Amino acid sequence: MKNMDTWKFAHDYCGKLWWKVGWVTTIASALIHIPLYHSDENTIGIAGLILVAIQCFIMVASIYPTEKALKKHFNDDGTRK
């Protein structure tokens, strides 16, 4: 990060984004796992693995909107627009 202002902005923005996405993925995870409650261990494990992989992808993908927001609110030298 260019300075503490961009650092704080990026962390606040990403934190709010993760909070929203976290609720959606929590509900989706519950809706997927509840019907699998009495399934065999392998089925539950595979479903869990797929969900974790999707959630990790979403977390990594959150870099893009955070960087986009930084470019929208800050100049290249780190000063606010």
The predicted structure's pLDDT at residue 2: 77
C-alpha–C-alpha distance, residues 22 and 4, integer Å: 26
Q: Which region, left, alpha or beta, applies to residue 78 given φ > 0 means left and ψ of -120 to 50 means alpha?
A: left
The predicted structure's pLDDT at residue 79: 87
The predicted structure's pLDDT at residue 1: 66
DSSP annotation of 34: G
C-alpha–C-alpha distance, residues 20 and 32, integer Å: 19
The predicted structure's pLDDT at residue 47: 94
Q: What are the pLDDT tens digits along the chain (81 aa)? A: 679 999 999 999 999 999 999 999 999 999 999 999 999 999 999 999 999 999 999 999 999 999 999 999 999 888 898
